[in-house]
Structure 1
Amino acid sequence: MRPRHGAPERTVVIGGGISGLATAALLARSGRDVTLLEKNDELGGRASLLERDGFRFDLGPSWFLMPEVFDHFFRLMGTSSAEQLDLVRLEPGYRVFSEGHADPIDIAATRAENVALFEAIEPGSGARLERYLDSAGEVYELAKKRFLYTTFESLTPLLAADVIRELPRFAKLFGTDLDSAAGSVVSDTRLRQILGYPAVFLGSSPYSTPSMYHLMSHLDLEDGVYYPRGGFARVIEAIAGLAREAGVRIETGATVRRIRTESVGRRRARTTGVDWTDAAGATHVEEVSVVVSAADLHHTETKLLPPALRTYPQSYWDKKTPGPGAVLLSLGVRGELPQLLHHTLFFTTDWRANFDAIGGSSPHIPDPASLYVCKPSATDDVAPEGHENLFVLVPIPADPTLGGGSSDTIRAAGDRAIAQIAEWADIPDLTERITARHDVGPADFVESINAWRGTMLGPAHTLAQSALFRAGNVSKRVDGLVYAGGSTIPGIGLPMCLISAELVVKRLNGDTSTEALPVPLPTGRE
């Protein structure tokens, strides 16, 4: 990772979300001289924090899945999740309200309880769910071993015996969508949606997501759902703290204007640094040999590089599918809300119409909408006494022209979501009890994190945008330019973003292995 002799190799990381912070931490631990540049005044990226009127609102991720990925990252840094986070396993894991059904379904924290739940609702489905979860667990473990921790720089390591043995299964899984796979297990619409909704975590729909991703059901129906006390801002704080301890210099209010390069041949160059401006408008130059952009990949390629040096020019993005945009509501509510759990989902009956509204040929904000509500005050001290803290997410088209949180369109969609929650969960006075409200729309994602098309997540995990078909983590035209984050491999979500940081280390080391790095990561002094 650094030369045996001389000064440590200088590296700049662009972006202070979880990917950028984790990447900077790992590279600094490895012996590099690392500077991280974040354009906002606060770190976190999509996992940002809003404090208002005594409430602490997480403005982004709220589901803590794949805890072993977090622990692996912390162990690379010489610590552990147990030392850095206070994790709570949620029991029940989450609640589901379905259109036309008065009583919700509570998903339990254990596999056995969930199998019994499915069997009680649809006799005969319990045994089918057992087989489905067996398959989900097997595919999940193989994915971690062979597909998530690889840069795909070389495909030779993928020709392992366990992968070759499973090729017939993979062919079937990639040739079937997630909704069809769920339909082979259950016929009850509510249960089918419970098996299909993880597609939303992937920025997609169950009708366009390969059934390979049925592995997600292993996470919520068997492994369980967790919550880090202090919220997801605490996760960011922990990683930022480790980065600083490793020697990373973090500059906030630092907007990168361009990636500097010098030519090494026709249509090829190497990085020499970045130009950036601080909050006061002063211009700075960082001269480095390696640049890691954990910013939005579309922004990096189309705004920070000249046309001739773009691996992923605008023509590439014109053919790609974004994940959904979102209306996000942070609500402070007076009094208790026992009708809602820490996680509560609201599903419409005509799901296909809902997803077509978001990503179909005539995109529009669905009404009614399938939506999600998080009540962290059920588990944590994130609201003033006598109040609840709600985070509401309504998936909508990835379209910045719909506006930000102050636009009439986004406010109206938020109003409809509040009314829907009030009706379906039987909270008739919900609107009157709201004491604090903060709205976010697609235009805000563009403004705050340069999100491509205002998507809240990144490129969707369709077949053509998954695994080796997803954008790679290295520039093909600029030596020394590497990528991290949800836009690149392995994909969307906090665990994937942590893995993307590790893939930067692998890429810079020429490591083409498929398994996670051994822990702890050797320091530059070792």
Structure 2
Amino acid sequence: MSAAPLHPRTVVIGGGIAGLASAALLAREGHEVTLLEARSTLGGRVGVWEADGFRFDTGPSWYLMPEVFEHFFRLFGRSAATELTLTRLDPGYRVYFEAGGEPLDIASDRKRNEAVFEAVEPGAGAALGRYLDSAEDTYRTSVDRFLYSSFTAVRPFLVREILGRAARLGRLLLQPLDRFAAGYVRDPRLRQVLGYPAVFLGSSPAQTPALYHLMSHLDLADGVLYPQGGFGTVIERIAALAAAEGVTVISDARVTKILTRPTSRKKPAISGVRYQNAQGATVELPADIVVSGADLHHTETELVDEPLRTYPERWWKGRISGPGAVLVMLGVQGELPPLAHHTLFFTTDWDDNFGRIFGAHPSVPDPASFYVCMPSATDSTVAPEGCSNLFLLVPVPADPGLGHGGIDGGGSPAVEAIADRAIAQLADWSGIPDLTERILVRRTVGPANFADDLNSWKGGALGPAHTLRQSAFFRGSNMSKRITGLYYAGGSTIPGIGLPMCLISAEILLKRIRGDVSTTPLPER
């Protein structure tokens, strides 16, 4: 058996945050890395769109788990402070409720949020304190012992810290988040605030394990940050790290096949990839290792020969996608004081809302619970002076059949109708009656765009939902079982959805290639 090459030729598929981070870490490790991105720009779901002086983030817009970003930058001898200009948001976010009344402002620190809860429901402040104590303990345990693990060995988990919490962690895994939160507060509005983090995980509060109440530590205690310039700056900084480590980036390079060669062992090995370049020519690029940061369903069912698929189509039939989304980007004349940087709109009947998205007979909720980001409240560079920048995300079923978005109402009828209803609902609930008349720029994105542009499974906006069967070691491995040298990174593999998770997935990938079965983050430079 031949020895592994000293400087493996490594191809990374996909220039999203996971692909860029993986490429940077592997290049620093000594790999000769080429990154292939199908589109002309990097970022994947972290997109940027500009029109008439407005600049929109077209994907993630919450900067949570700041220590994960800090740790990643420190692996390269940098820090978040040197790479980004971060602003703490206060309020962290605002919530409007269908029943009306004053909106709820969630502050940037724990003590004030305990006071916010107490003002809504006597005794809820102390209850929130207990809830957040549990959330912080669970979060610290998860970061220290689970999130940075590839779950390839049992021994690292046989430690007192985990064994002493095993019974409690088991209960948190088996109880849904909504019932867990109901054990602390009675007011339905407060329960919604505690249950909403499930949406960040591509799931519903009824389907998400209570273990994920750890998310409330992030927004209710840790606080919410914003990188000045928008989330495109995060991609720029990580791309710059990759370039500094010697990564070769080829854009407009759509991979069409992962190539293998026979070996003397049972499994074939990676030999390279085939891709179509910007001129339409077919190119074969040799490789010793391939890392796919693309959607895992697309990788396995489109790029790998059927007999060699670790996750064939039948595996996906028992899986649950996170929600689809209709995105609405609006450039608006004037300021919009009723809205904060982040504003949430919650319907009263959440069971119906989530049932329509995840149920056996999905349909578009109406009215819908949805999210609005107005970065112009914090960042003067994203809109012309005297104007506001709005980004609406309306969760819908993961169904490309709903159609594509478009500019100035030019998208599919279903997508534009969803956008119209959300705009009207926003205007009504927040008290901005002339919102529609003040719109200068409008663009929508639908589930079919996610399917076409990002090869997203079922047109989902996030990735596989974080249900019990799709979390931690149940989520799936980051290494092919049938092809030596094929690995995965990104939100559709471990540890899961979100920018911090994608950064962690890159680090887990490096550890997996090294044969490192530890459960803790790598030592920083």
Quick check: TM above 0.5? Answer: yes
Cα deviation for residue 48 of structure 1 reads 0.6
- With over 3 angstroms needed to count, the CA separation of the structure-2 counterparts of 1:102 and 1:5, relative to structure 1, is closer
The answer on whether the counterparts of 1:348 and 1:370 sit within 8 Å (CA) in structure 2 is yes
Cα deviation for residue 464 of structure 1 reads 0.3
Match in the other structure for 1:280: 279
Match in the other structure for 1:422: 427
Cα deviation for residue 403 of structure 1 reads 0.5
Match in the other structure for 2:143: 144
Q: Which amino acid aligns with 1:457?
A: L
Q: Deviations 1:176-208 (Å, cap 9, x if unpaired)?
A: 110011111111111100000000000000000
Q: Which amino acid aligns with 1:495?
A: P
Match in the other structure for 1:504: 509
Match in the other structure for 1:524: none
The alignment-based identity, stated in percent, is 59
Cα deviation for residue 168 of structure 1 reads 1.2
Cα deviation for residue 268 of structure 1 reads 2.4
1:413 to 2:423 alignment: no
Match in the other structure for 2:209: 210
SS in 2 for 1:457: coil
CA distance in 2, matches of 1:145, 1:193: 28
Cα deviation for residue 262 of structure 1 reads 1.2
Cα deviation for residue 6 of structure 1 reads 7.3
Q: Deviations 1:200-227 (Å, cap 9, x if unpaired)?
A: 0000000000000000000000000000
CA distance in 1, matches of 2:25, 2:82: 18
Q: Deviations 1:1-56 (Å, cap 9, x if unpaired)?
A: xx999762110000000000000000111111100000001000000110111111
Match in the other structure for 2:334: 335
1:480 to 2:482 alignment: no
Match in the other structure for 1:71: 70
Cα deviation for residue 267 of structure 1 reads 6.7
CA distance in 2, matches of 1:264, 1:301: 21
The answer on whether the counterparts of 1:102 and 1:424 sit within 8 Å (CA) in structure 2 is no
1:382 to 2:387 alignment: no
Q: Which amino acid aligns with 2:461?
A: M
Cα deviation for residue 334 of structure 1 reads 0.4
CA distance in 1, matches of 2:203, 2:125: 27
1:300 to 2:305 alignment: no
CA distance in 1, matches of 2:127, 2:214: 15
Q: Deviations 1:95-118 (Å, cap 9, x if unpaired)?
A: 000011231000000100000111
The answer on whether the counterparts of 1:267 and 1:308 sit within 8 Å (CA) in structure 2 is no
Q: Which amino acid aligns with 1:387?
A: C
The answer on whether the counterparts of 1:36 and 1:250 sit within 8 Å (CA) in structure 2 is yes
- With over 3 angstroms needed to count, the CA separation of the structure-2 counterparts of 1:377 and 1:4, relative to structure 1, is farther
SS in 2 for 1:264: coil
Q: Which one of 437, 443, 450 corresponds to residue 455 of structure 2?
A: 450
CA distance in 2, matches of 1:349, 1:282: 54
CA distance in 2, matches of 1:195, 1:166: 23
User: How is 1:390-401 mapped onto 2 (pairs within 5 angstroms)?
Assistant: 390-401=390-401
User: How is 1:229-244 mapped onto 2 (pairs within 5 angstroms)?
Assistant: 229-244=228-243
Q: Which one of 427, 436, 439 corresponds to residue 431 of structure 1?
A: 436
Q: Which amino acid aligns with 2:387?
A: H
**5+ unaligned residues in a row in structure 2: which ranges?**
406-410
The answer on whether the counterparts of 1:15 and 1:295 sit within 8 Å (CA) in structure 2 is yes
Q: Deviations 1:304-342 (Å, cap 9, x if unpaired)?
A: 011100000000011100000000001000001000000
Match in the other structure for 1:523: none
Q: Deviations 1:406-435 (Å, cap 9, x if unpaired)?
A: 100000000000000000000000011000
TM-score w.r.t. length of structure 2: 0.97
CA distance in 2, matches of 1:304, 1:156: 35
Match in the other structure for 1:101: 100
CA distance in 2, matches of 1:411, 1:278: 34
Match in the other structure for 2:352: 353
